[in-house]
A and B are shown apart, each in its own frame.
Chain A
Amino acid sequence: MTRSIDLTRRGALAAGVSIAFFGGGARAATGDKKLVVFIQRGGADGLSVSPPIGDPNYHSLRGEIAIPDSDVLKLDNDFALHPKLTAIHALAMNGEARIAPAVAIPNNQRSHFEAQDVLESGVTVVYGSTSGWLNRTLGTMAGRKIEGMSIGAHAPLILRGPVQAASWSPGQTARGDRLPMILTDLYHNDALLSRAFASGLETAAMATMAGATMTAAPARAAAAQGGGANVQAKQLGGSIAGFMNQPGGPQIVAVSIDGWDTHANQGATDGALAGRLAYLDAVVDGLQKGLAGEWRNTVCIVATEFGRTAKINGTRGTDHGNASTALVLGGGLKRGGIIGDWPTLASNKLNQGRDLAATLDVRALFKGVLREHLGVETRLLNETVFPDSAAVAPVTGLV
Chain B
Amino acid sequence: MALPNSDQMAAIAVTRFGLGARPSELELAKSDPKGWLKAQLTRGPADQPPGQLPTSAERFVAYRDAQQARQAAQRAQGGVTAQPKGRPATPMPGQPMATVQAAVSVADATGLQDEFIARAQLAANSAAPFRERWVLFWANHFTVSATKGAARPLVGPFEREVIRPSAFGRFENMAVLSSSHPAMLLYLDQAQSIGPYSMRAAQAERARLRNPNAPKPGLNENLAREIMELHTVGVDGGYTQADVTEFARAMTGWSVGNAMDGDQVGKFVYRAVSHEPGARTIMGKRYPDTGGTQALTVIRDLAAHPATARHIARKVATHFVSDEPSPALVSKLERSFVASRGDLAQLAAALIDADEAWAPAPTKFKTPYDFLISAHRALGVAPLRPGQIVQPLNQMGQQAFSPPSPKGWSEDAATWAAPDALIKRLSWSQGFASQVSGGPREPMKVAMDALGSRLSAPTGAAITSAESREEALTILFMSPEFQRR
| Residues of chain A whose beta carbon lies under 8 Å from any beta carbon of chain B | 41-42, 63-64, 110-114, 126, 130, 150, 152-155, 157, 160, 164-169, 171-176, 178-180, 182-183, 185-187, 190, 192-193, 196-201, 203-204, 216, 218, 220-221, 224-228, 258-259, 261, 263-264, 312-317, 319-320, 352
Contacts A193-B483, A317-B189 given; does A173 touch B427 at CB 8 Å: yes
**In the complex, what residues of B have CB within 8 A of residue A221's CB?**
87, 394, 399
What does the 1/0 interface line of B393-423 toward A look like (CB < 8 Å)?
Answer: 0111111001011010010011111111111
Q: How far is the CA of A373 from the CA of B428 in the complex (A)?
A: 40
Q: Which of B84, B194, B218, B235 contacts A114 (CB 8 A)?
A: B235
Q: Are A197 and B189 in contact (CB under 8 A)?
A: no
Instruction: Report which of B188, B402, B475 forms a contact with A179, defined as CB distance below 8 A.
Output: B475
Report which of A150, A172, A186 forms a contact with B427, defined as CB distance below 8 A: A172
Q: How many residues of B contact A (CB 8 A)?
A: 68
Answer whether residue B350 sits at the interface, using C-beta atoms and an 8 A cutoff.
Answer: no
Q: Is there contact, CB below 8 Å, between B480 and A190?
A: yes
B52 within 8 A of A: no
A226, B83: Cβ atoms closer than 8 Å = yes
Given A200-B419, A203-B420, A316-B215, do A224 and B87 touch, yes or no (CB 8 Å)?
yes
Known: A173-B423, A174-B423, A264-B222. 5 other contacts (CB 8 A): A167-B420, A167-B421, A185-B458, A186-B479, A258-B405
Measured between beta carbons, the chain A residues less than 8 angstroms from B418 are: 150, 153-155, 167, 196, 200
Question: Smallest CB–CB gap between A42 and chain B, Å?
Answer: 7
Shortest CB distance A128–B (Å): 14
B residues adjacent to A (C-beta < 8 A):
82-84, 87, 90, 147, 188-189, 192-194, 196, 201, 213, 215-222, 225, 229, 235, 241, 244, 365, 391, 394-399, 402, 404-405, 407, 410, 413-424, 426-428, 430, 458-459, 462, 466-467, 471, 474-475, 478-480, 483
Which partner residue on chain A sits nearest B81 by CB separation? Answer: A226
Q: Is the CB of A196 within 8 A of B417?
A: yes
Contacts between chains A and B (CB distance < 8 A), count = 190
CB pair B480–A182 under 8 Å, yes or no, is no
A155 touches B415 (CB 8 A): yes
- Whether the Cβ atoms of A186 and B221 lie closer than 8 Å is no
Residues on A with beta carbons closer than 8 Å to the beta carbon of B215? 64, 316
Which A residues lie within 8 Å of B193 (CB)? 314-315
A316 to B167, CA, bound (A): 35
Contact A186 B430 (CB under 8 A): no
Cβ-defined contact, B413 with A192, below 8 A? yes
With A216-B394, A225-B87 in contact, is A204–B220 under 8 Å at CB? no
**In the complex, which residues of chain B have a beta carbon less than 8 angstroms from the beta carbon of A113?**
235, 405, 407
* A313 x B147 contact (CB < 8 A): no
Knowing A192-B413, A220-B404, the reply to whether A314 touches B395 (Cβ < 8 A) is: no
Give the residues in chain A near B235, CB-CB below 8 Å. 111, 113-114, 126
Q: Are B415 and A154 in contact (CB under 8 A)?
A: yes
Contact A153 B220 (CB under 8 A): no
The 4 closest A-B pairs by CB, nearest first: A314-B218, A153-B397, A200-B419, A199-B419
Contact of A169 with B480 in the complex, beta carbons under 8 Å: no
CB distance from B370 to the nearest CB of A (A): 15
Report Cα–Cα, A42/B220, bound state, in Å.
16
B417 and A203 form a contact (CB under 8 A): no
- Contact indicator A153/B396 (Cβ below 8 Å): yes
The answer to whether A111 and B229 touch (CB under 8 A), given A155-B418, A314-B218, is yes
Compute how far the CA of A225 lies from the CA of B107 in the bound complex, rounded to whole angstroms.
13
- What is the minimal beta-carbon distance from A306 to any residue of chain B, in angstroms? 13
A224 CB contacts on chain B under 8 angstroms: 84, 87
Give the distance in Å from the alpha carbon of A220 to the alpha carbon of B407 in the complex.
Answer: 17
**Contact among A110, A154, A187 with B421 in the assembled complex (CB-CB below 8 Å):** A154
Given contacts A114-B235, A226-B83, contact A315 B220 (CB under 8 A): yes
**Contacts A196-B418, A216-B395, A220-B404; is A186 near B458 (CB within 8 Å)?**
yes
Specify which of B217, B225, B395 is in contact with A172 (CB 8 Å cutoff).
B395
The residue that A42 contacts in the complex, of B405, B466, B474, with Cβ under 8 A, is B405
